[in-house]
Chains A and B, each alone.
Chain A
Amino acid sequence: MADLTSKTIAELSQGFDNKEFSATEVVTAYIKNMEQGRKYNAYITETGEHALAQAKDCDNRIASGKRLSMLDGVPLGIKDLFCTKDIKTTAASRILENFIPPYESTVTKNLLDAGSIFIGKTNLDEFAMGGANLTSYFGQAINPIKRADGKEVVTGGSSGGSAAAVAASMCAGATGTDTGGSIRQPAAFCGIVGIKPTYGRCSRYGIIAYASSLDQAGPMTKTVEDAAIMLEKMAGFDELDSTSADIAVPNFTSSLKSGVKGLKVGVVKEFLNGDLNKEIAAAYEESMNILKSNGAEIKEISLPNMKYALATYYIIAPAEASSNLARYDGLRFGLRVDGSSLDEMYENSRSAGFGAEVKRRIMIGTYVLSAGYYDAYYLKALNVRKLIRQDYINAFKEVDTILTPVAPTTAFTIEESKSFDPVTNYLQDVFTVPVNLAKLPAISVPVKMAENSLPIGMQLIGRDFDEETLFKGAYVLEQNNSWSRR
């Protein structure tokens, strides 16, 4: 039998329908890969046994021809930020090292209801704060793709474990969350597909919050088609999340392959004229050409306020985080380090429980919300956020989607990252962050191999709730680019 773990979700689904293999066989193959791939540190918790038990049920359904969906029997990795009932959920933080949620997040519940199988909880930056999966309490994840010089590089983050797990075929697809690029950037670094849907498309219920107004769940997969299959099941209105959008989820897979003829694609003047890394610029150019040769119309647009996006993001996200993380106080769950008073217990528990980056963001967030600074920082950031969104809305009067790079560089080594100060780290998010601020959907797809043999990703940004156009465009990029043909 051919290697089951090299198949896409679409191929697995077809194989199940044709009874070519069983879910148990597929899960067994993935568990083997997962075990062999432990060097990548992609998983915090492996749930192989649990997955095999689930596979039995799937096989019964396959036998009776009653599969629940295309995902029925498909093994998935779940970012360890999604609460999974009775399965340890850590947010890659010491403070939640032994936390077992008594409830299931809506997105994972939707995936379970679709019949998918969870083979493990994937690594991430602590509380999703980071862009290289280096802040995890459980150690960094390693990119399965080696650089030409033989050096190991980072996966990107925060959904680094999910990206590595998909790239190394340790699951058929994975969930991620994206607050400022946490799906798209690791997808680009690891050469896979990832989509951050429109804010409100997927329920946030049961996802451990980083920055509530920016957090959004999405799939990370080998192909664009797989991402469409997964998102269809993950998304949907949820009355348990007041920010969830009561909008029907389209059938993404059916329109996926209809091409980009006549599609108006915007390219960003400020990025073209800016100081893009040469190879990234070349990949940008190549992607434009692919779309153009497939009938799309390329149009230059301007996003004048993008230069404020990073500053805005690094005020709003930490502000929300400082409040969202107040509940980790050692009282009711999670790590407790006793003290001689309540305040001392808080200090001891939170000092021991949180890593440096989380503490940094809590402090920034506390500062920008403080009396006397609120107007100058937080309120101003909220206003700039509106301007950034307005830039996109203006652009979407002229174009249907906007093409930009995902990250300013390819993946770097851990040693290289050590020379970065926090601000350099934050600059990694320059292309991804504005999309979260504007609450728009964007898909990341690998398009080219850089000279260092690492993948370069491009993103397509869409109108509110127009993920369909993104899947169409990304599919064309995927089918015609040099990375996919490697």
Chain B
Amino acid sequence: MSYIIKGRTCDYEVVIGLEVHCQVISKAKLFSSASAESGGTPNDHVAFIDAGFPGMLPVVNKFCVEQAVKTGLGLNAKINKKSVFARKNYFYADLPQGYQISQYDKPIVGEGYLDIELEDGSTKRIGIERLHLEQDAGKSIHDMLPGKSCIDLNRSGVALMEIVSKPDMSSPYEAGAYLTKLRSIVRYLETCDGNMNEGSMRCDANVSVRPVGSKELRTRCEIKNVNSIRYLMQAIEYEANRHVDAYDNGEEIYQETRLFNANKKETRSMRGKENANDYRYFPDPDLAFPLVVSDELLEKVKNSMPEMPEEKAIRFVQTYKISEDEAKRLSAEKTVANYFEEAMKEKGSDGKKTANLILVELAAYMSENQIENIYELKTTASRLGRITALVEDGTIGLRIAKELLPMIEETDKEPEAIIEEKGLKQVSDTGEIEKIIDKIIADNPKNVEEYKAGKEKLFGFFVGQVMKATQGKANPAVINKLLKDKLS
């Protein structure tokens, strides 16, 4: 299923590496005690160091260090016992110190990997090159006052983790899957909220192409700040094709930074390499001692690691008797996994049915109504759990269970109340169902004849008719038994 772009002279494959900036979940900033909360009144969360005042010094926020280590462990990566903060020097209006404190040649986290699932269900391992800690810059606002720019330093100094992958992805799908998986991991770890539309997770993509089978790495372009997974995939697709067109036309690709235009679905040049800053990295003398991750700290973080998606899926299969596929899909997002487990706490609830209602019914409802977080549904985990319990004990049928969901979303009422109000209880009274079956057999002599002659799939037709007549309330097991008896 490899992703190939047909060129005029040869077929090309795509080489993709991603650099993802994750805003660290932390109360305070990386080097100051000011609040790291996003939003708020501009310039309200600013310590003197965040504004680059003279004589102010950085003191590293140990919690942010723990968060980086935790993320590193979640990415199966090497934790560097000693790392170094370096200054990245450049002038910009929203960079108060005139440099960003980052990590350069000695990052806190070294090589690791994560596994993504491909379209065909197989797994591919994507290498992680490194993860380092750095400060965010402030925000420049150019359209608030005519002829003037405004600076908001609330974000200045907030901790970011930059996670750099190896150039291991070879299709827009793989890049999307990588970013989805990475987001799932940081959300599991609670080290980043992963909200791309709010900018707390930002992605730059390095894209190049090469003839299929070749091992060379051709000139790459960096596409900046693609703020959704869908845009990332679109941007890569456009960019890869642009490269192929250029090579087809005998043109060269220049190393440059490009911006993705989501409306036009194309990338355009932002700045070429010749305009690149010389950042003059050097170790920050204000943080002269190497940042040490002690054995105690590493142990502490290891002990605080939550159950990760893969482990969770295995446990779900064992505990709730659901399929491997269902378990994987449920545990891909931490919120969904938690929701599922909460639903399963309801007495009498059923794993298989709960999984199915989440993965099919609720998933469809959420995507139709653009709801991102399952916890925003009116169908709470408890309500869903109770619904499957009601199916299990025969109070309602599965079809009614499915129909209940949109009703709850609309009314925010308890499922039991709706069942009562609308009389949706399942009918298991043999006598009543028998009467209905008799009538259906009488009304459809031709079908009865054909069924008896061997057209067995007509059985479904009779079940459907009974369900229709009882508005789905008849107990399917009872229907099956009675129909079989009557039609034999």
Contact = CB atoms under 8 A, between A and B. Distances in A.
B55 A213 contact: no
B280 A366 contact: yes
Contact of A101 (B53, B58, B286): B53
A87 to B, nearest CB: 13
Contact of A378 (B55, B92, B278, B282): B282
A323 B281 CA distance: 10
Interface residues of A, number: 44
B282 A323 contact: yes
A331 interface: yes
Contact of B53 (A212, A320, A333, A374): A333
B91 A209 contact: no
Given A242-B286, A331-B151, A332-B51, A204 B96 contact: no
A168 B282 CA distance: 42
Interface in A153-186: none
B59 A242 contact: yes
Interface in B261-319: 278, 280-282, 285-289
Contact of A370 (B278, B286, B287): B278
Contact of B57 (A101, A242, A329): A242
B285 to A, nearest CB: 4
Interface of A: 82-83, 89, 91, 96, 99, 101-103, 105, 204-209, 211-213, 239-243, 319-320, 322-323, 325-327, 329, 331-333, 342-343, 346, 366, 369-371, 374, 378
Contacts of A371: 278, 280
B288 A243 contact: yes
Contact of A327 (B54, B60, B282): B54
B278 to A, nearest CB: 5
Nearest to A369: B280
Given A243-B286, A366-B280, A326 B55 contact: no
Interface string B441-482: 000000000000000000000000000000000000000000
- SS class, residues of chain B in contact with chain A: loop
A21 B288 CA distance: 47
B54 A326 contact: no
B55 A323 contact: no
Interface of B: 48, 51-60, 87, 89, 91-93, 96-99, 149, 151, 278, 280-282, 285-289
Contacts of A343: 91
Contacts of A346: 91
A329 B98 contact: yes
Given A242-B287, A242-B289, A369-B280, A323 B59 contact: no
A409 B477 CA distance: 108
A329 B287 CA distance: 23
Contacts of B56: 103, 205-206
B79 to A, nearest CB: 21
Given A327-B52, A369-B89, A374-B282, A241 B57 contact: yes
B278 A205 contact: no
A326 B288 contact: no
Contact of A240 (B52, B57, B93): B57
8 contacts: A103-B56, A105-B55, A205-B55, A208-B54, A212-B286, A243-B288, A323-B99, A371-B278
A205 B53 CA distance: 11
B98 A326 contact: yes
B288 to A, nearest CB: 5
Given A213-B288, A242-B286, A242-B289, A323 B57 contact: no
Contact of B282 (A89, A207, A369): A369
Contacts of B288: 212-213, 242-243
B89 A323 contact: yes
Given A327-B96, A332-B96, 19 more contacts: A83-B55, A103-B48, A105-B55, A209-B55, A242-B58, A243-B286, A320-B285, A323-B89, A323-B280, A323-B282, A327-B52, A332-B51, A343-B91, A366-B280, A369-B89, A369-B281, A370-B278, A370-B280, A371-B280
B96 A331 contact: yes
Contact of B54 (A99, A242, A243, A378): A99
Contacts of A242: 57-60, 286-289
A458 B366 CA distance: 80
A173 to B, nearest CB: 21
